[in-house]
Amino acid sequence: MNQINEKNEIVVVAGADGFIGGSLVADLRRQGYTRIRAVGVKPFERWYQHFPDVENMVLDLKDRQNCETAARGAYQIFMLAADMGGMGFIEKHKVECMLSVLVSTHMLMAAQQHNVQKYFYSSSACVYNASKQRDHNCPGLKEEDAYPAEAEDGYGWEKLFSERMCRHFREDYGLRTRVARYHNVYGPNGTWFGGREKAPAAICRKVIEAKLKGHTEIPIWGDGNQTRSFMYIDDCLKGTQMIMNSDVTEPINLGSSEMVTINQLIDIVESIAGTKFKRVYELSAPKGVNGRNSDNTLIENLLHWEPRISLREGLEKTYRWIYDQYVAREKGVQVLA
């Protein structure tokens, strides 16, 4: 019996018009995958990364027929498509976030119908019980802390429900599903302005803007004492593919365990920029839970790995990329948000 060479089989990246999806397509190309199907809802000119040598499709995956088109003939699917953004977006667009359940469900149905062999679903740390995230000194969220359920309203509930759908498609239909709970992914080629950006990109942009325009202060959402961990995109891509190819059947954390306060995040960005600013705290702005960090015990035990790129190293690369994007935009060059 001939062994399948996965690099010559169709691999679908749903959500390829986004930050993580576009980065995954780029990584699969580098590895030599020859039949990549990149699927996104935005017009091609709005994709973060667009490669003419792959099969690109513009499809609204809320529609079941479009999901069947995307899944036809596929050996594996990375399901990264969702309507989401940073806390400023998900707190104010709960309906849009929850409607992603159509994408999640229809892609599972299409994968089962077309006998897809491997299926990855990107969940989120927003599924975790809010009562375990009230302390700034969050000890780290273990996988079992998602239950009893008290997820982030809107976005978190959709992710938690879709995790269960993956479980039941695996149990009832034999679809080989793998689920990772992402913790705050950041890096170049991602959203950095416009309202959907997450904290690392937002802080980089604010510091760059203040420095270039001669401002003396920057606005900060919340009191700056909120704690988080942030995972660089390269670690996310490596972990995603490790989990896809593993025997881990239950949802598993994929995030850095390097917890910092938002104030400490700003300290690092200011150090990279070589400057300091007065911080104006906007206490009425969306700030999310008080403390959230990834407990990596399970991924270390099962896969003997965890994200390893330090926050300082990742922020240096991200800051340089956003700086170039900012300067280009100021010169009138059209850049993506």
Q: Which residues are catalytic?
A: 155
**Which DSSP state fits 193?**
S
What residues have CB less than 8 Å from 220, skipping those under 6 apart? 262, 263, 266, 279, 280, 281, 282
CA distance 263 to 242: 33
From residue 3, give the alpha-carbon distance in Å to each of 9, 30, 176, 220, 285.
12, 22, 18, 54, 54
- 251: its two tokens: 């949802």
CB of 184 within 8 A of CB of 201?
no
- Residue whose tokens read 């994408």: 103
**Which DSSP state fits 304?**
S
148: preceding bond cis by omega (within 30 degrees): yes
